[in-house]
Structure 1
Amino acid sequence: MIAMYKVLNWVMLLSVLSTHQNESLEGTWMAEKDSKSKWVFTNDGKCKRYYDNELLNTYVYSLSNTSPQCDKTVPVNSKTQYLKLVKVGKVDSEYCYEVNGITAEKLSLRQIGTGSLLLFDKQ
């Protein structure tokens, strides 16, 4: 119950702080649930995913506000934004996320299709 309360507070905070989710993704983001999991977004449009400081995969990332996302119909309005990751060298390997919020310190994503919530702290 406490974990659910924490997640709800987190999402509400992001909603208030970031109505357009247009802050830069660039930088290093540590997963809130697992500090060994790190996503690094670079200014050349790459996302590098690390676990325990070992590079797992490199992706090309893009932000958009269009439907569909990863072949799923998604809502589109002035408050929605989507992150797409395409694995470098494997154009058929892509992951899509709804951006719940981006601030200078927090990132909240919901994976399209599974609904999994990912929360990150900026380093």
Structure 2
Amino acid sequence: MKTITIILIQLIMVLSILNTVSHLEVSHTSIVGTWVSENDAKSKWVFSSDGKCMKYNGNEIIGRYSYKLSDSTFQCGETVKKIKNVSFLSLSDVEDNSQYCYYLEGLTEVRMTLNPFNSSKFFTYKRQ
């Protein structure tokens, strides 16, 4: 019985460590800068310090947004599940006010990982 208890405690500890490592830690690193998709070098997002974001395909602007980073669980008109070490990025299209919301799974000096709401896809960008 004692052996089973020790094994269960060790298993819980390992799972806790894996859960922490599986998410890139969201730091207080600024999102400001140019981010290039790891899957498509033509796709890039440029975040400015005035809360604006430009989305590019090559040299062509394909979207203009205002953005907001938040830890609030109310995003894009809905209450969403809060996940440890995950913040939220919301984009609002400046032309038609369409809203796009993402789980900000990771933000470091060199990498940003996004997961759109209601999707199992992940998008990873490297700082240029």
Interval of TM-score (by shorter of Structure 1 and Structure 2): 0.7 to 0.9
Give the letter for the 1:87 counterpart: D
Task: Check whether the contact 1:21–1:81 (CA below 8 A) recurs between aligned residues.
Answer: no
Task: Check whether the contact 1:14–1:103 (CA below 8 A) recurs between aligned residues.
Answer: no
Q: Which of 96, 118, 121 is residue 116 of structure 1 equivalent to? A: 121
Q: Which of 58, 61, 64 is residue 55 of structure 1 equivalent to? A: 61
Q: Which of 42, 56, 67 is residue 73 of structure 2 equivalent to? A: 67
Task: Check whether the contact 2:85–2:105 (CA below 8 A) recurs between aligned residues.
Answer: no
Cα distance in 2 between the residues matched to 1:35 and 1:14 = 24
Of structures 1 and 2, the larger Rg is shown by 2
Deviation at 1:29, TM superposition (A): 0.3
Deviation at 1:14, TM superposition (A): 5.8
Task: Check whether the contact 1:39–1:48 (CA below 8 A) recurs between aligned residues.
Answer: yes
Aligned: 1:98 with 2:103: yes
Distance 1:43 1:63, change over 3 A: same
For the aligned residue pairs, the C-alpha RMSD in angstroms reads: 2.0
Cα distance in 2 between the residues matched to 1:95 and 1:115 = 15
Deviation at 1:12, TM superposition (A): 4.3
Structure 2 counterpart of 1:35: 41
Cα distance in 2 between the residues matched to 1:35 and 1:102 = 19
Which runs of no fewer than 5 residues in structure 1 stay unpaired? 1-10
Cα distance in 2 between the residues matched to 1:46 and 1:103 = 20
Aligned: 1:87 with 2:84: no
Which runs of no fewer than 5 residues in structure 2 stay unpaired? 1-19
Deviations 1:6-65 (A, max 9, x none): xxxxx94762xx3x4321000000000000001000011001000011001110000011
Task: Check whether the contact 1:69–1:112 (CA below 8 A) recurs between aligned residues.
Answer: no
Structure 1 counterpart of 2:5: none
After TM superposition, the runs of 4+ consecutive aligned structure 1 residues lying more than 4 A away are 11-14
Distance 1:105 1:13, change over 3 A: farther
